[in-house]
Chains A and B, each alone.
Chain A
Amino acid sequence: MKAKITGLLAGAAMSALCVTSAMAEDLVIFWAEWDPANFLQELVNEYEAETGVSVTVETTPWSDFQTKAFTEFNARGSAYDMIVGDSQWLGAASTGGHYVDLTDFFKKHNLGEVMAPATVKYYAEYPGNSGTYWAVPAEGDAVGWSYRKDWFEDPAEMAAFKEKYGYDLAPPATWDQLLDIAEFFHRPDENRYGVAIYTDNSYDAMVMGVENAIFSYGAELGNFETYEVDGYVNSEAAVKALEDYKKLYSYTPPGWAKAFFVENNQAITEGLAAMSMNYFAFFPALLNEATNPHAANTGFFANPAGPTGAQHAALGGQGISIVSYSNNQEEAMKFLEWFIKPEVQKRWAELGGYTAHADTLSSEEFRQATPYNEAFYQTMFKVKDFWAVPEFAELLTAANQRLYPFIVGDEGTAQETLDALAADWHATFKKYGRVE
């Protein structure tokens, strides 16, 4: 009996070990679960065809992408060779020693010029202006808008709009127009609503939405050099931006207190909202007849300008980095050399990826490829981003804790909210010795 038990145990242990080792693959890239990751899989299939090195794109949903990545990094795990990580992770991942320094690679291939400037600045460099690079810009992304063309182009609606607001109904060029149009189409009796915006407070969704407004109104989150926040994030322009974001919230469909990309796409597919905020990367589903019954009637526009004429958008998108615990770093480096070739970047764009490659991006071919590529192209030159410091997660938590009760719960004023946020952020920066 004893021998039997020992035998069973040994067998069990063996099988456990076998499962672990049988999964060895040539290269593994980790990314979030979304269409671009599938496009990337198609692209790397071609790498395998050329070189015989197989590459697998592993995915996990956005909601736990950050946690999964950092539990793996901090455990110094070698499960992933490369990671297509969010821009705000750069600080944490580089100072934590999780990413391989790609500065030499960057200089050798002159990537600072080959890739679009905004993508280099936000996806690759940390600290800002240091000339140290940790990633190769892979997927450009930013917040844009989709809208219902058929509603906008309905003659009766156009006439009524002109009558009420004194100008023609068209995709908004300014935030004021955005607010007007949202108000105009907001008809709860008809089960039609003005606008869909981000309100989910679990990761960075709502913050990105609010950022969109704050940047366009000419305000900043803070001074990224000195870490001063008072007078920036609670400036007059920022307060106005937050007030207007809250106003937009009042034109959302019922139950819009927890919305991110899924809900905002649904707002269009279910015919709920006239306009919907979303990252460009989520737009393919809106062009697919099988998932969007209104596909033919869906249009797209870039984030409108604010009252001062400033026009910016919150940055999404990711750079591809090599994980420093990987056992295949050389192989990964070779892959990156392949990845940055102009013809590969062109192929990447054809497959549906949002290349960061400047020449491909500005080509006529790319800009005409889909109904939203033009808006994307325009947006990529005016993106701005959240803090990329190692403690960004705490900054996000504070932003969620302060902004959410104001926008959704109607607590306090915009000024009080942003003052409190500035104080929280200052305290965090002080805790990490960035300010006195």
Chain B
Amino acid sequence: MSDLTIRNLFIIPTIAFLIIFNIFPLLYSLGYSFTDFRASTNAPANFVGLQNYHYLLTDPFIWRNFTITAKYVIVSVTGQVIVGFGMAMLLNRDIPLKGLITTLLLLPMMLSMAVVGLFWKLLYDPSFGIINYGLGLGKFEWLADPDVALYAVALTDIWMWSPFVMLLSLAGLSAVPKHLYEAAEIDRAGSFYTFFRITLPLVAPIVMIAIIFRTMEAFKTFDLAYILSSQPTAELIAIRLYKMAFLEWQTGMSSAFAYIVLVMVVAITNIYVKYLNKVKER
């Protein structure tokens, strides 16, 4: 076999598979997004033009879902960066059993989001949850209070994904050449100066990757929020989309909605990949 045959044999099946199961479905639903199709009835789909898009973009409830999602992304990603980077700064030194401690810290992000959501429900319980007990909050309502629920979901997300930011930050920190710190010490630079002038600029690109990646994931969040809370104040886009498609069976409308979401995700993905390549080149 020639190299060319082997190359095609190795690459084409994968690309074909991904096109069939990722791109083709999207084209399929693009068609439906211009109809009033409902998968729950036997009625044929009627072409309605851009009506679905128009309806979605002018519906105040949908805009509220977008605002909620934006709030959620900002809170949870900011939290993860602060906690995760802080943990990395603490760990970036000689510590006994460092390997074991790091591995233990990474455990949360490997777990299933759905199941994590479930057992955080137990932790958040107002009457017997250990969070209220540990913090002495009495019967504080984490999930039932409409004003708090979204932040409770974000807090769980922070618990789960701060280790991810920590992991990437640690890699960045350990890559900072030691001689730079030694030079700074000789110059009697203060620790603030060292941090802002040496550490931060060198770690920033890798932390940026963590931020974009988490932004993208937080934007898509479904499992965790769906299980933890059904508060309308915590109804993220993915949850609304799920309900529209599989509870109300507005198939055409939800296909249109999915497209609006898709455009946003592709935009963030583009930024992400640009940064990935940048870091890889270094």
Contact = CB atoms under 8 A, between A and B. Distances in A.
In the complex they form, do A and B come into direct contact, defined as C-beta atoms under 8 angstroms apart? yes
Interface of A: 66-67, 70-71, 73-74, 92, 95-97, 200-202, 254-259, 270, 390-391, 393-394, 397, 400-401, 404-405, 408-409
A96 B230 contact: no
A381 B141 CA distance: 39
Nearest to A257: B144
A397 B139 contact: no
Nearest to A397: B248
Contacts of B248: 391, 393-394, 397
A255 B247 contact: no
Interface stretch (B39-47, B72-80, B211-219): B39-47
Interface of B: 39-42, 61, 126-127, 139, 141, 143-146, 229-232, 243, 246-250
B191 to A, nearest CB: 45
Contacts of B61: 401
B144 A256 contact: yes
Given A67-B247, A257-B145, A259-B144, 5 more contacts: A201-B230, A254-B126, A254-B141, A397-B243, A409-B146
B146 to A, nearest CB: 6
A201 B41 contact: no
Given A70-B40, A74-B39, A408 B146 contact: yes
B144 A255 contact: yes
B40 A66 contact: no
Contacts of B127: 270
A397 to B, nearest CB: 6
Contacts of A67: 246-247
A133 to B, nearest CB: 20
Contacts of B230: 200-202, 258
B249 A255 contact: no
Nearest to A394: B248
B40 A74 contact: yes
Contacts of A202: 230
Contacts of A200: 230
Given A74-B40, A254-B141, A257-B141, A400 B232 contact: yes
A350 B94 CA distance: 71
Given A95-B41, A254-B141, A393 B232 contact: no
27 contacts: A71-B246, A74-B40, A92-B249, A95-B41, A96-B40, A97-B42, A201-B230, A201-B231, A201-B232, A202-B230, A254-B141, A255-B139, A255-B141, A257-B144, A257-B146, A258-B144, A258-B231, A270-B127, A390-B40, A391-B248, A394-B248, A397-B243, A401-B61, A401-B232, A405-B232, A408-B146, A409-B146
Contacts of A394: 248, 250
Contacts of A92: 40-41, 249
Nearest to A75: B39
A434 to B, nearest CB: 14
Nearest to A201: B232
Most chain B beta-carbon contacts within 10 A, residue among A66, A95, A257: A257
Nearest to A73: B40
Nearest to A253: B139
A70 B250 CA distance: 13
A67 B242 CA distance: 10
Contacts of A74: 39-40, 249
